Chain A
């Protein structure tokens, strides 16, 4: 993960000296961005790797409003191999601060949707004729998806993000990291002669994601 962050930051800084030919005197602008998203880590013993693509519409104000530089709304598809899950909508606000070669951008927002099954894991420990022991990790759901008719089949959680941005009126380039604050269920099951013991606990965790996106001014 650290290597990927370094790579993305390097990408921005390397390209910035060449590609930022057009000075952006007026700070306002609206862009549509396409991005690649990668998340990798572990929830206790359960490792996960999730890749996705995102599309965002992002607006920069002419000058800061209520301390904010702009806002964006986006859609992300995680786990491209499977269409039935990994659909997420997000909205966030941000503030930018100019540094020598780029803008540093920090902000936060909320994300909602049907997460991919990449956070669900089961691990079997003991399997004998009379005893069975296994662990299960999953993302807690706390929201309903309209039209599905199921209870708590969606997830809603906040996130914070920080990135480097280079933009002109016509183009925008951004790379950074985002931290989702997600709640996981961590359960331990023991079955002995059909007597079940379940130890359930929930744990809220910061789940980091790295992203790179490019876009065009509208």
Chain B
């Protein structure tokens, strides 16, 4: 075998492998150069009609306009809203109910430190009669300031069990509970779910709880996938936050990463984080927002990201 022959052979193998990759990859580079109609079709095909909104009582007119547009375009079915002291007596944003949106209420982390969490649950159920899905806490082991109060996953599971037992005993069939979504780099979030299983997560009925994840990278979904395909095979899954902090990448994230999240995690819903994340006051997080400058609406029109333009059919 001569060196010339070997070099020719290696060249052929490289050409063949590159060619195969282009022809066979699910998301080959040629896909990205599709016409705008194809991109719109891909976004609409992969988009899950759910997103996170902040129900702080601000920018109501802006919310009313963009949420109405999204619903009318068939791009929105439900929203995730936080329930804290601001809106403990009812959602401040009436448009959520008037549009018939399916609301997922996130019971604020600080409520979970209260000695009588059962009373707080009763109050929330009473004041939010249209909400059926409640997420009990959010990223509680990682999001709270170190200055306190903080909660370990062991402490959280004690609280979640109390909430679960209280709801099954006193409000049967009133609500579905979502466990707080773990988050973390690498496999730390998945390890937290494993720990929750050790602490009794599987003693709770798959008809009564839903497993939730905040998952911003497909790499993190690999760890979650292994837990879901193993111990939690019989449970429902929702991705309660995902997105990317650069509006120029919003569309490609939906086209590429939504598809992989769906295949890896089988989520029934994927919530985009978030519709509106301020106009810059929250730093880099602003980039997740689908709209900006809502505060001046209707005096001035608001900014819309390329993704939301596709979702409302505005091209």
A contact residues vs B (CB 8 Å cutoff): 11, 15, 18-22, 36, 38, 40, 49, 51, 53, 80-85, 114, 117, 120-122, 132, 134, 136, 138, 140-141, 148-153, 166, 168, 170-171, 173, 185, 187, 189, 191, 194-196, 198, 200, 212, 214
B5 touches A138 (CB 8 A): no
Which residue on B lies nearest to A187, using beta carbons? B233
Q: Specify the main secondary structure of chain B where it touches its partner.
A: helix
B231 touches A151 (CB 8 A): yes
Residues in A neighbouring B132, C-beta threshold 8 A: 194
A153 touches B236 (CB 8 A): no
A171 to B4, CA, bound (A): 12
A36 touches B2 (CB 8 A): no
Binds A, one of B58-66, B260-268, B278-286: B260-268
A194 to B268, CA, bound (A): 12
State the Cβ distance, A102 to closest chain B Cβ, in Å: 12
B6 within 8 Å of A (CB atoms): yes
A168 touches B1 (CB 8 A): yes
Residues in A neighbouring B234, C-beta threshold 8 A: 196, 198, 200
Choose one: A20, A150, A187; the contact of B187 (CB below 8 Å).
A150
Given A134-B266, A170-B1; A185-B233 close (CB under 8 Å): yes
A149 touches B207 (CB 8 A): no
A150 touches B233 (CB 8 A): no
B contact residues vs A (CB 8 Å cutoff): 1-2, 5-6, 9-10, 12-13, 16-17, 20-21, 24-27, 132, 176, 187, 190-191, 194, 206-207, 218-219, 222-223, 225-227, 229-231, 233-234, 236, 260, 262-266, 268
Choose one: A18, A36, A117, A134; the contact of B13 (CB below 8 Å).
A36
Choose one: B2, B17, B25, B264; the contact of A117 (CB below 8 Å).
B264
State the Cβ distance, A51 to closest chain B Cβ, in Å: 5
Which residue on A lies nearest to B225, using beta carbons? A120
Q: 29 pairs across A/B with beta carbons < 8 Å? A: A15-B9, A19-B5, A21-B1, A22-B1, A38-B20, A51-B20, A81-B25, A81-B27, A84-B218, A117-B225, A122-B262, A122-B265, A122-B266, A132-B268, A134-B266, A141-B229, A148-B223, A149-B191, A150-B191, A150-B223, A151-B226, A151-B230, A151-B231, A166-B1, A170-B1, A194-B132, A194-B176, A196-B236, A200-B234
A117 touches B16 (CB 8 A): no
A21 touches B9 (CB 8 A): no
A168 to B1, CA, bound (A): 7
Which residue on A lies nearest to B21, using beta carbons? A51
B9 touches A149 (CB 8 A): no
Residues in A neighbouring B227, C-beta threshold 8 A: 150-151
A189 touches B225 (CB 8 A): no
A121 touches B263 (CB 8 A): yes
